[in-house]
Structure 1
Amino acid sequence: MLAAKTRWMQSASSIDDVQEWQKQAGVSALVAKLCLARGWTDIAKVKEMLKMEEQSFHDPFLLQGMPEAVERIQLAIERNEKIRIYGDYDCDGVSSTTIMVLILKELGANFDFYIPNRFSEGYGLNIKAMDAAKESQIDLVITVDTGISAWVEIDYAISIGLDVIVTDHHEPPPRLPDCISVINPKLPTCTYPYKYLAGAGVALKLGQALLGRLPDHLLDIACIGTIADLVPLTGENRLIAYHGLKRLNHTRHLGIEVLLENAGLLDEVVNEEHVGFTIAPRINASGRLDKADYAVQLFLTEDREEATGLVDQLNEHNQQRQKLVEKMTKEAITWVEEHYPEQKPKVLVIAKEDWNIGVVGIVASKMVEKYYLPTLILSIDQEKGVAKGSARSITGFDMYQALRTCDDLLPHYGGHPMAAGLSLEVSNLEHLRMRLDQCGEQWLTEEDLIPVTRVDVLCQLEDVTLEGIEELSQLAPFGVENPRPMICLEQMEIKEMKKVGANKNHLKCQFRQSEAVLDGIGFFLGDRADKISPGAKLDLIGQVDINVWNGKKKPQIMIKDMRVPHQQIFDWRGARQLEQQFVTICDEEEKLALIQFRTETVIPTHIRELVTVITLDTEVQALEQKTEHMLQKFSTIVLWDLPRSMEQFEKVCELIAHGKNIYVVFDHQQDHYFSMLPTREHFKWFYAFLNQRKSFDRPRHGQQLAKHKGWTLESIDFMIEVFLELEFAKMEKGLIVLHDQPNKKSLQESIAYKQKQLDIQVEQELLYSSYQVLVELIHRNQSRVEQKKEAVSNGF
């Protein structure tokens, strides 16, 4: 067996349901199964999803607070009042700020923008920034992607004569800012049809309301912020991403074009993965290590030379960020292992002085990947006595609600169920650890602590067609709550499997089921090749796409995980580097036993030290009662040497039927199968020869006799051994001499003769048989266990 690396969660659909869906929706089996698995029961909506061009954006004035915000902004423009856009330093904040800048510029407003410094000011609005706005003769502050929790700072702003409009998308706290307008689709009293807009999406809707039309020329920027912020890619967000990606592939924003060119994407069809893993990290790097203003300037510039310089700066920041993340992650792991060498708490709260506050969120994500526990990474400022940081969570633990239980300890916090930001006094760190761990103990089960892979579609290989994959792709762009479909294929035969890549750490495969064949590639799964036997039938999960090579299209699966749900038999007969292979399986298999059939067989000392050696009796009758209970403890069995008989082997096969993996070595000291078994005529001639010679000096004349008769020395030695055992002959002064009147005995009375016959049979059937024959032999003998159990259950 081979265990999967994650816990697969899948929902099966009945054949009748799938066929009915196919019929009603006019879709492929793949899409029908996906829709049923995700609970998309509205066929009309699914058809809409497949035809994005026919969908339209919602009326922005359905957002609570929108009329008041538009009225106040229009008044400010009429009066030439000075407006300040107050943004945030992440990619969504940068995108939101840029959208608002371009909207106000188009409207002829008098404005500027301000993004707080992550290191000196922290997240969100602050009193000093409000004072600075007043000093700059600002009349109206418009927040983007921030402000929903800043009622204290907004009260202060109003008290010094500033008007404030809040546009945000984060979870609203119990107390909201009391200002001209608060626009947030998550407000409990807001009836907007879609609740999950990113900050850039809310800014886009405000722009739509101000312009009286959708600012579709800004959809590429809104798309970057939306995808980067990991909001659900459903509903209107999906519409923003869909049209935004189209715009992004033909962007008119010079800075974005230069960024794409620098990242090697200018000639690519840019998709949501390019945005999430290539574009967004570069934009985020600016605010993580320096000022986010650079990223806004990049989006706004119309000068190629300036754009190139800004992109270079962002790239340099991104490289520094990567090194910093690696260093801090190592330090965080060291902290955990030193403080919790054995039992880990249910929630990790890790704090250290002078950690870079700009990358704590990334480090938290890395720690979740390693430990699969909700994690908070905090940077301590000893001078101020404050710790600031970010949190990342796992399925089953709502981080925002957990922080709400610690409300009295946290002067500032906000976020989502899976991610949050916070600050607190250093003196409260231990209280925070204790309370969050209590939440973890109450909310998380042991099963919750096993990484989950959600599987959408369980299908047959024949379902994976070019047409089906193309139809699935129409459900893109994929992201949160609309992830790229994960399909599961069961009982796949392996047609080809090999390690590829410079370090042989990737896996290239070809699978077969009935007449259907599918290519597969598994990145960083190369180590699994050594853990899969040639006859294994695999279950695998992955994402399907179309591979185009030399103009030909073929379905392909990008393998994410795999398992073998049945016992595996590995053929290590005559294997090279046997000792190295043993070290590998001993590192990975906890319950491993090595069966030694013959006490005279040598087991290398360092291998013996790694495993539990069970030496079996030669008497078959004694096997079951002596070893059955002992062997049950072991899931991995190594058959080290050759049994003394097939009967012994058959019994052992029954005893190890429970094993998950069986490694067959069959180490042997002598080849009996290829040495001659003397016939009765051979023995008769040799006896007459000895009788005539009266004595025989084997060391001096054995080779001459062998050459004369065309025998081997081993055959002569064997006949001498049998004659001595049956007392036909004896040794006198190193010579072989016949007894004068020996008792008549059959060759079958010789233990050596019978064992030689058994050894030849064992070697023929076990050592020199093909892998397939060996596997069938083991399985045939193991099947008797089930037959016995069935007989017992039936009362026989």
Structure 2
Amino acid sequence: MIKSKYRWDMPQRAAEREQELTANLGLGPMVAGVLARREWDTIEEARSFLEPSVEELLDPLRMKGMAEAVDRIGRAVRDGERIRVYGDYDADGVTSTALMIRLLTELGASFDTYIPHRSREGYGLNNAALDLAAAAGVRLIITVDNGISAVEQIAYAVSLGIDVVVTDHHEPPEKLPAEAVALVNPKQKDCPYPFKGLCGAGVVFKLAHAMLGRPALEYADLAAIGTIADLMPLMGENRIIARLGLKQLRQAPIPGIQALARVAGIDIAEISSGRIGFSLAPRLNAGGRLEHADSAVKLLAAASEAEAEPYAMELDRLNAERQQLVEHTTAEADELWLKLREADGEKPRRAIVLAKEGWNAGIAGLVASKLVERYYLPAVILAIDGETGLCKGSARSIDGFDLYAALTDCADLLEHYGGHQAAAGMTLRADQVTELGDRLDLLAAERLTEEDWQPKRRVDLRVSLEDVTLSAVDQLAALEPFGNGNPTPRVVLEDVVIKEARTMGKEDKHLRLTIEQAGRSLEVVAFGMGPQRERMAPGMRVDLLGELSVNEWNGNRKTQMMFQDYRSGQLIVNDRRAERGVWTALERLIATESEGLAVACASKAAYHEAASRYGMTGVTIGLYEMAADVGIDVSSESAAAASGDKAGLPSGVRHLVLVGLPTEEREVGSLRSWLRPERELERVTVLSDGEGGSRSSVGAAGKFPERRHFAEVYTMCRQRGSWLDSPDGFVRETAEAVRLPLATVRMMHEVFVELGFIAANGVSRKAVANPPRKELSESARYRRAQEQAAVRQVAEMTTEELRSWMAACHSGA
């Protein structure tokens, strides 16, 4: 058995809804299935989703504060007042800033831009920057992607004679900056704007619509990048913006995006939400993370590719540096976390909070994401400034834990914080880090259920290989663009057989399988799962969870699956009893996968030989016969300690190697215990016992009688009518007639007595004239005898019999 890494949220088939969608919209079964799973309740809603229209863009003046913002910015343009655009250093912040540059340029405004340095200034408005603005004669500051929580800073700006228009999309705090001329944020509690999911660039896109008196479709390119990069839900207006923007990027990209795509190795004509999220956005973020975000703004504002090229190359270089820094910092953070856990002992921690001097705050969010992925706990990563004693950093959360709400409950520990349910940034004193960790730990324990601690993957469709055609996968493109809120459809292929498994890529990091089902085959790939190759043996039946796609190579197109998780209820049994050289075979097994492997020996001679050869490897080595009493017996030479487990195996064993098969009832009982489903064994390898034969006369009592044998014996009982139960009487006569051992016939008579077929009175026996109708299996004596016979026969089973018996034990039968 192999358990899945994720909790699979499997779909319930909505056949009626699928048929309705297919009939009314002419959809293929896969697309209709996805829409039905995602609960598009009406045909009109589904049609709007599939065919979003510019006409569906909402009136920007419905957004609270928009009219006041338009009025104040318009007056500043008319009066020639100096305007400063105050941005942010992430991808949403720089695209928001670049969009404001376009808008103010088009309006003929006098303006400049300012983006704070992440490490030196931190997120949002700060008084030192406001002093610089006042000294430069700025009369109006327009914030983009920040400002909604800057109560004190905006009050300070007003005291300097500077008006502030806030455009933001982050969660508003209870106390808002009331002295701002306008607060434009659809998430304000009393804002009537119906769509709340805009990013910072999306809010600027709506501001441009309001200022220009028309939808600014030519601004959709950068608005789409900001939306996708900031992981906004690709629904409603965001879906319209993303589709418009992607079309514009493919057909008429600005010089900066052309240059950035070229250094990233992207064909701009094939730009997608995935390529933005995984290639362009990290490069746009790189400047703000490691140096300054100005280079990204200058790239996006460049008038020509020649002007843009050096900025694109610089961002590409910084991104490569960022990748190395993230890898190094993640390793340090992981080491720090493991030491903390070791110091805690058995006490569980429900949140990761780590801080260290020398870390770069600009990559804290990326490192936090890595730790969330590895441990599935909310994670906070903080960089300590040794001079100020302050920590700055970022946090990432897991499903079900509202990070912003949790930080709000810890606000007394924080100098500053902001963000949303899944991600946040913060500043606090270094001496408060331990307290923050303790508080978040308690909040997570209180607010999350046991089920929440296993990551979940929502599945859209259950499919068979017959369903996975090129046409069907092509049709899924109708659901694009994919991203947050509209993820790439995730499917489960159930009960497929692995035909071939091989690793690929540098250091064999990735995995490629060929799977089969009902005469069809498919190639599936998993990135980063190369180490799983040993667990996925050819012939194994598995369920795979992943995403379907089309692989194009040299003009050829074929379907493939990128799989993310798998599971199997099958126990793989490798019967290698016929092989010579048991110790060479065992040595190879230990060398290739010592972790999660245990060895059980059928004889003391085999055990002592195995322990002397491999005791120092740390692999658990023991005897069947001692397992049930004291836990599997581990030699003094072995580095592994006995577990004391009643079933005789330490936890975490995935591969059990049997050197010989058991022949005694208590030994077989131990093996049954090891094979039971809750043990989660994945594989059993059976080798010869190293002595060239079995230890006892297995099968001396013969095989368990078949049903026809019971019928023959009972017929003789009916014919005799009555008799005395004695060793040399009717029982022996019957045994000789049917050619079965005396003990077997006596057991059969006992079964008949228990079932009411024979009446017993002392030593007298009499066949019942009208016996009850009962199955043999209803007799406890029959079941016990059957099990005892099976025990005697385990060591003599054929390969197929052994696999069937072990599979039955593994299934709990």
Q: What TM-score does the superposition give when structure 2 sets the normalisation length?
A: 0.78
CA spacing shift, 1:336–1:785, aligned 2, 3 Å: closer
CA deviation map 1:623-651 (0-9, x unaligned): xxxxx975698876746345598999999
Q: Find the counterpart in structure 1 of residue 778 from structure 2.
A: none
Distance (whole Å) between structure 2 residues aligned to residue 410 and residue 787 of structure 1: 53
The range that moved more, 37-46 or 71-80, is 37-46
What is the root-mean-square deviation in Å for CA atoms of aligned residues?
Answer: 3.2
Q: How far apart are residue 359 of structure 1 and its match?
A: 1.5
Query: Do 1:48 and 1:55's aligned partners in 2 also have CA atoms closer than 8 Å?
Result: no
Query: Do 1:68 and 1:180's aligned partners in 2 also have CA atoms closer than 8 Å?
Result: yes
CA deviation map 1:295-319 (0-9, x unaligned): 1111112244432221222222223
Matches within 5 A, 1:325-404: 325-341=326-342, 342=345, 343-404=347-408
Distance (whole Å) between structure 2 residues aligned to residue 600 and residue 309 of structure 1: 69
Q: Find the counterpart in structure 2 of residue 254 from structure 1.
A: 255
Paired amino acid for 1:220: D
Paired amino acid for 2:610: I
Paired amino acid for 1:663: V
CA spacing shift, 1:566–1:383, aligned 2, 3 Å: same
1:529 is aligned to 2:537: no
Q: Find the counterpart in structure 2 of residue 324 from structure 1.
A: 325
SS in 2 for 1:503: helix
Q: How far apart are residue 535 of structure 1 and its match?
A: 3.1
Number of corresponding residues: 683
Find the partner of 2:622 among 613, 619, 630.
613
Distance (whole Å) between structure 2 residues aligned to residue 546 and residue 787 of structure 1: 37
Q: Find the counterpart in structure 1 of residue 686 from structure 2.
A: 665
Paired amino acid for 2:801: L
Q: Find the counterpart in structure 1 of residue 658 from structure 2.
A: 640
Q: Find the counterpart in structure 2 of residue 302 from structure 1.
A: 303
1:111 is aligned to 2:118: no
SS in 2 for 1:424: strand
SS in 2 for 1:387: strand
Distance (whole Å) between structure 2 residues aligned to residue 325 and residue 786 of structure 1: 43
Q: Find the counterpart in structure 1 of residue 753 from structure 2.
A: none
Distance (whole Å) between structure 1 residues aligned to residue 809 and residue 290 of structure 2: 65
1:777 is aligned to 2:787: no
Distance (whole Å) between structure 1 residues aligned to residue 299 and residue 683 of structure 2: 60
Paired amino acid for 1:149: S
Matches within 5 A, 1:551-562: 551-562=555-566
SS in 2 for 1:413: strand
Q: Find the counterpart in structure 1 of residue 280 from structure 2.
A: 279
Distance (whole Å) between structure 1 residues aligned to residue 807 and residue 690 of structure 2: 31
Distance (whole Å) between structure 1 residues aligned to residue 80 and residue 693 of structure 2: 103
Q: How far apart are residue 549 of structure 1 and its match?
A: 4.0
Paired amino acid for 1:596: A
CA spacing shift, 1:648–1:414, aligned 2, 3 Å: closer
CA deviation map 1:474-495 (0-9, x unaligned): 1111111111111111111223
Paired amino acid for 1:339: L
Q: How far apart are residue 656 of structure 1 and its match?
A: 6.3
Q: Find the counterpart in structure 2 of residue 143 from structure 1.
A: 143
Distance (whole Å) between structure 1 residues aligned to residue 393 and residue 506 of structure 2: 39
Q: How far apart are residue 667 of structure 1 and its match?
A: 2.7
CA spacing shift, 1:649–1:295, aligned 2, 3 Å: same
CA deviation map 1:672-726 (0-9, x unaligned): 99xxxxxxxxxxxxxxxxxxxxxxxxxxxxxxxxxxxxxxxxxxxxxxxxxxxxx
Q: Find the counterpart in structure 1 of residue 610 from structure 2.
A: 603
CA spacing shift, 1:164–1:763, aligned 2, 3 Å: closer
CA spacing shift, 1:352–1:498, aligned 2, 3 Å: closer
SS in 2 for 1:358: helix
CA spacing shift, 1:655–1:595, aligned 2, 3 Å: farther
Distance (whole Å) between structure 2 residues aligned to residue 188 and residue 521 of structure 1: 46
Query: Do 2:576 and 2:688's aligned partners in 1 also have CA atoms closer than 8 Å?
Result: no
Q: How far apart are residue 568 of structure 1 and its match?
A: 2.0
Paired amino acid for 1:165: V
Distance (whole Å) between structure 2 residues aligned to residue 638 and residue 318 of structure 1: 45
The range that moved more, 659-668 or 491-500, is 659-668
Paired amino acid for 1:500: M
Q: Find the counterpart in structure 2 of residue 218 from structure 1.
A: 219
CA deviation map 1:523-545 (0-9, x unaligned): 22233232134332111101001
CA spacing shift, 1:606–1:65, aligned 2, 3 Å: farther
Identity, % of aligned pairs?
39
1:153 is aligned to 2:153: yes
The range that moved more, 190-199 or 126-135, is 126-135
The range that moved more, 314-323 or 147-156, is 314-323
SS in 2 for 1:558: strand
Distance (whole Å) between structure 2 residues aligned to residue 664 and residue 434 of structure 1: 46
CA spacing shift, 1:99–1:267, aligned 2, 3 Å: closer
SS in 2 for 1:401: helix
Q: How far apart are residue 233 of structure 1 and its match?
A: 1.6
Query: Do 1:598 and 1:616's aligned partners in 2 also have CA atoms closer than 8 Å?
Result: no
1:228 is aligned to 2:229: yes
Q: How far apart are residue 53 of structure 1 and its match?
A: 5.2
CA spacing shift, 1:668–1:763, aligned 2, 3 Å: farther
Q: How far apart are residue 131 of structure 1 and its match?
A: 2.0
Query: Do 2:258 and 2:268's aligned partners in 1 also have CA atoms closer than 8 Å?
Result: no
SS in 1 for 2:476: helix
Q: Find the counterpart in structure 2 of residue 417 from structure 1.
A: 421
Q: Find the counterpart in structure 2 of residue 520 from structure 1.
A: 524
SS in 1 for 2:355: strand
Q: Find the counterpart in structure 2 of residue 126 from structure 1.
A: 126
CA spacing shift, 1:630–1:396, aligned 2, 3 Å: closer
Query: Do 2:496 and 2:517's aligned partners in 1 also have CA atoms closer than 8 Å?
Result: yes
Distance (whole Å) between structure 2 residues aligned to residue 408 and residue 646 of structure 1: 67
The range that moved more, 342-351 or 599-608, is 599-608
CA deviation map 1:315-353 (0-9, x unaligned): 222232223222322222222222221445211221122
Matches within 5 A, 1:472-483: 472-483=476-487
Give the number of the structure whose alpha-carbon radius of gyration is greater.
Answer: 1
Matches within 5 A, 1:710-789: 774=799, 776-781=800-805
1:594 is aligned to 2:600: yes
Distance (whole Å) between structure 1 residues aligned to residue 394 and residue 305 of structure 2: 36
Distance (whole Å) between structure 2 residues aligned to residue 222 and residue 550 of structure 1: 34
Q: Find the counterpart in structure 2 of residue 208 from structure 1.
A: 209
CA deviation map 1:202-234 (0-9, x unaligned): 011101111122222222211111111111121
Q: Find the counterpart in structure 1 of residue 167 from structure 2.
A: 167
Q: Find the counterpart in structure 2 of residue 83 from structure 1.
A: 83
Distance (whole Å) between structure 1 residues aligned to residue 520 and residue 450 of structure 2: 39
Q: How far apart are residue 54 of structure 1 and its match?
A: 6.8
CA spacing shift, 1:36–1:189, aligned 2, 3 Å: same
Q: How far apart are residue 180 of structure 1 and its match?
A: 1.6
Paired amino acid for 1:41: D
Paired amino acid for 2:87: G
Q: How far apart are residue 44 of structure 1 and its match?
A: 1.9
Query: Do 1:30 and 1:464's aligned partners in 2 also have CA atoms closer than 8 Å?
Result: no
Find the partner of 2:590 among 572, 582, 585.
582
Query: Do 1:654 and 1:784's aligned partners in 2 also have CA atoms closer than 8 Å?
Result: no
Q: How far apart are residue 377 of structure 1 and its match?
A: 1.2
CA spacing shift, 1:479–1:783, aligned 2, 3 Å: closer
SS in 1 for 2:251: coil
Distance (whole Å) between structure 1 residues aligned to residue 182 and residue 666 of structure 2: 85
Query: Do 2:497 and 2:538's aligned partners in 1 also have CA atoms closer than 8 Å?
Result: no
SS in 2 for 1:31: helix
Q: Find the counterpart in structure 2 of residue 443 from structure 1.
A: 447
Query: Do 1:169 and 1:186's aligned partners in 2 also have CA atoms closer than 8 Å?
Result: yes
Q: How far apart are residue 434 of structure 1 and its match?
A: 2.3
Structure 1: unaligned runs, 5 residues or longer: 618-627, 674-761, 767-772, 790-796
